[in-house]
């Protein structure tokens, strides 16, 4: 007769422990997650310290820049501020006459403006019958700047066309809009503090004429309006301005 073979009973709870083990996430998923986190951090750093998009908010820079155009603004050169601190990174350059500056509005730092730097600290600015002079020398008019209003106001009535000589104080700038007759700038609200400068406008990455207004009260017309805007989009895009450097 053969020998009896003793069978080992399975350990209690072994199968249960195997079924209770949580599935481990695959290394590839964790790797992609870290890639996403890293990309988000890089994008945040670039936007904070290097490059940022900006939308032209008004007609004050026409015809150099048009209402609604999207610009890329370079921030590193002027020493961008470190968020939530009073510190700034070292500046590699300083605003100079002719630069297109994006800055926080002195009267309301939550609003962002765009104007052209005309004079820096120590220089003297004067306006005679719409002609801008810095240190007694006529400033060349930008290629696409304009005076759209033929009227000329005296200095006592409006500083738009005639302004007595003003010396730019230390740490300040004098800025003007290129649409000289329809711009609120240093002529009206005074000098721009240097620390409010955000960056320098570089180039236009999007330019498009506005579409038709959407009436939210007429929801039944919404599909038709959206269709008309989508169909007219290729004609409304200013193709020649896309990718152009600002001047």
pLDDT confidence of residue 40: 86
76 part of a folded domain:
yes
130 part of a folded domain:
yes
CATH number where 111 lies: 2.10.109.10
232 part of a folded domain:
yes
pLDDT confidence of residue 23: 56
pLDDT digit string, tens, across residues 164-178 = 999 999 999 999 999
Phi and psi at 45, nearest 5°, equal: -65, -40
Region at 19 (left for phi over 0; alpha for psi -120 to 50; beta for the rest): alpha
Cis amide bond preceding 25, omega within 30: no
223 part of a folded domain:
yes
Interacting residues of 41 by C-beta distance below 8 A, sequence separation 6+: none
118 part of a folded domain:
yes
pLDDT digit string, tens, across residues 190-241 = 999 999 999 999 999 999 988 766 666 666 777 877 888 888 888 899 999 9
pLDDT digit string, tens, across residues 176-197 = 999 999 999 999 999 999 999 9
Q: The tokens of 233 are what?
A: 């989009």
pLDDT digit string, tens, across residues 89-145 = 899 999 999 999 999 999 998 999 999 999 999 999 999 999 999 999 999 999 999
Domain with 86 in it: 54-241
DSSP state of 216: T
Please state the domain count of the chain.
1
What does pLDDT average to over the chain?
86
More confident residue, 61 or 85: 61
DSSP state of 3: P
32 part of a folded domain:
no
171 part of a folded domain:
yes
pLDDT digit string, tens, across residues 18-54 = 555 555 556 777 888 888 888 888 888 878 878 899 9
pLDDT confidence of residue 104: 94
pTM: 0.80
Contact between 186 and 176 (Cβ < 8 Å): yes
Q: Closest Cα to residue 202, out of 118, 119, 140, 114?
A: 114
């Amino acid at each position: 007769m053969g020998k009896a073979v003793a069978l080992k009973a399975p350990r209690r709870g072994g199968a249960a422990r195997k079924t209770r083990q949580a599935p481990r996430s695959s290394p590839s998923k964790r790797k992609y997650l870290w890639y996403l986190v890293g990309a988000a951090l890089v994008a945040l750093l670039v936007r904070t310290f290097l490059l940022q998009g900006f939308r032209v908010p008004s007609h004050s820079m026409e015809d150099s820049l048009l209402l609604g155009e999207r610009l890329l603004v370079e921030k590193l050169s002027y020493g961008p501020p470190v968020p939530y601190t009073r510190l700034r990174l070292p500046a590699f350059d300083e605003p100079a006459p002719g630069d297109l500056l994006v800055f926080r509005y002195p009267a309301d730092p939550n609003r962002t403006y765009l104007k052209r730097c005309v004079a820096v600290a120590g220089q003297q600015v004067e306006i005679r019958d719409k002609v801008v002079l810095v240190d007694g020398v006529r400033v060349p008019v930008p290629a696409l700047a304009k005076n759209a209003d033929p009227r000329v106001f005296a200095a006592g009535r409006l500083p738009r066309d005639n302004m007595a000589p003003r010396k730019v104080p230390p740490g300040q700038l004098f800025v003007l809009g290129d649409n000289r007759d329809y711009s609120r700038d240093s002529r009206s609200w005074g000098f721009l503090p240097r620390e409010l400068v955000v960056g320098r406008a570089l180039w236009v990455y999007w330019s498009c004429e506005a579409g038709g207004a959407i009436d939210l009260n007429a929801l039944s017309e919404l599909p038709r309006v959206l269709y008309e805007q989508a169909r007219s989009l290729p004609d409304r895009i200013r193709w020649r301005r896309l990718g152009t450097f600002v001047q």
